[in-house]
Amino acid sequence: MDALARAAALLRQLCQARGARCIVVHGAGSFGHFQAKAHGVDAGFVGDTAGTESLRKGLCLTRLSVTKLNHLVTEELVKGGVPAVGMSPFGSWMTAGRTVSRANITALRDCLRAGYIPVLHGDCVLDSEQHCTILSGDTVIEVLCQEFTPQRVVFLTDVDGIYDRPPDIPGAKLLDSIDIQPDGSLACAIQSNSLPHDTTGGIARKLGAAAAIITQSRGATTVFICRLEGPGAEGACLRGLIGLAEGTQLSLAAP
């Protein structure tokens, strides 16, 4: 809750800064991943419908969990003076073979124009080929960037940024910047891992989303990854600038 209060304070400052607009997307954290993993929600089913009842139960349980978290996040933002409105992808976003085939961008545009901040989240969605799947918050951000081309995307996390290897490994080094090649590849090698219950790919998926955002915008969007309660969060969110050892900035490599 302390971290959410910090996020609310940052967003309030951003809202007050020259009429800046933003969209908030949060992941599931410890909410949702366990239920989704236990019932195979991400894989869905193709042909064999023997596990349909378990799958539907898993989808419902996962949604109960992630929408509970969305309520908690949105509630804290509103308490902090942010005009936040929770918006779930389920029902208005769909996938086909895990690839987004429909996204309700119109509702988001209307929300922004009316002066509100949409708060989306990683969610279950219906899939035309496998009944359902998991739509990660990272994928949501990637799709939104294709539509809105924001100046910057800021991933606020519980670590200082991107390291050359998992930060709990001795000798791990924080990377102040990462160049993204025009083909979407990273200019440096990064060793990563993910938690056993994570159904959305962990940090590797975030890096992939960041690279796609940067290349699709042809460098118009800069991506920052920094610790929510660290010194770089305010600079990244409010000014699009971070200092040394304050986080990681990802941008298009110079030609």
Report pLDDT for 47: 67
Residues 3 and 126 in one domain: yes
For residues 172 and 251, membership in a common domain is answered with: yes
Residue 156 in tokens: 């606020």
- Shortest CA distance to 215 belongs to which of 181, 177, 188? 181
Q: What is the pLDDT of residue 28?
A: 85
Domain boundary among 126, 148, 170: 148
Residue 226, beta-bridge partner list: 156
Q: Which two tokens stand for residue 250?
A: 């990802």
Q: Would residue 248 be called left, alpha or beta, if left means φ above 0 and alpha means ψ between -120 and 50 degrees?
A: beta
d(CA 214, CA 65): 32
Q: In terms of domains, do 109 and 175 share one? A: no
pLDDT of residue 197: 47
Structural domain span for residue 11: 1-148
Q: What distance in Å separates the CA atoms of residue 150 and residue 92, rounded to the nearest whole number?
A: 22
Whether residue 62 sits in one domain with residue 82: yes
CA separation, residue 90 to residues 121, 132, 157 (Å): 10, 10, 24
Query: Looking at the structure, do residues 1 and 127 belong to the same domain, yes or no?
Result: yes
pLDDT at residue 146, as a whole number: 95
Do residues 99 and 183 both lie within one domain? no
Q: What is the CATH number of the domain that holds 117?
A: 3.40.1160.10
Same domain, 166 and 248: yes
Residues 118, 20 within the same domain: yes
Query: Collapsing DSSP states into helix, strand and coil, what is residue 171?
Result: coil
User: Of 91, 123, 148, which residue sits at a domain end?
Assistant: 148
Cα separations in angstroms, 57 against 35, 46, 63, 98: 9, 17, 10, 20
Q: Do 60 and 161 belong to one domain?
A: no
Claim to verify: residue 198 and residue 111 sit in the same structural domain = no
State the DSSP string of 119-155.
Answer: EEE-EEEEETTTEEEEE-HHHHHHHHHHHH--SEEEE
3-class secondary structure, 102: strand
* pLDDT for res 190: 83
Position 48 scores a pLDDT of 64
165 and 49 fall within a common domain: no
Give the pLDDT of the chain (255 residues) as one tens digit per residue: 899 999 999 999 998 876 678 999 998 878 888 888 888 999 898 766 667 888 999 999 999 999 999 999 999 999 999 999 999 999 999 999 999 999 999 999 999 999 999 999 999 999 999 999 999 999 999 999 999 999 999 999 999 999 988 888 899 999 999 999 999 888 887 877 655 445 445 678 789 899 999 999 999 999 999 999 999 999 999 999 999 999 999 999 987
> CB-based contacts of 142: which residues, under 8 Å, 6+ apart?
209, 212, 213
- Which residue among 118, 148, 178 closes a domain? 148
**N- to C-terminal Cα separation, the chain:** 44
Chain position carrying tokens 């910047």: 177
* Structural domains in the chain (count): 2
> What contacts 77, CB < 8 A, 6 or more positions away?
4, 7, 8, 11, 24, 84, 117, 119
Indicate if 213 and 161 belong to the same structural domain: yes
For tokens 């901040």, the residue is: 117
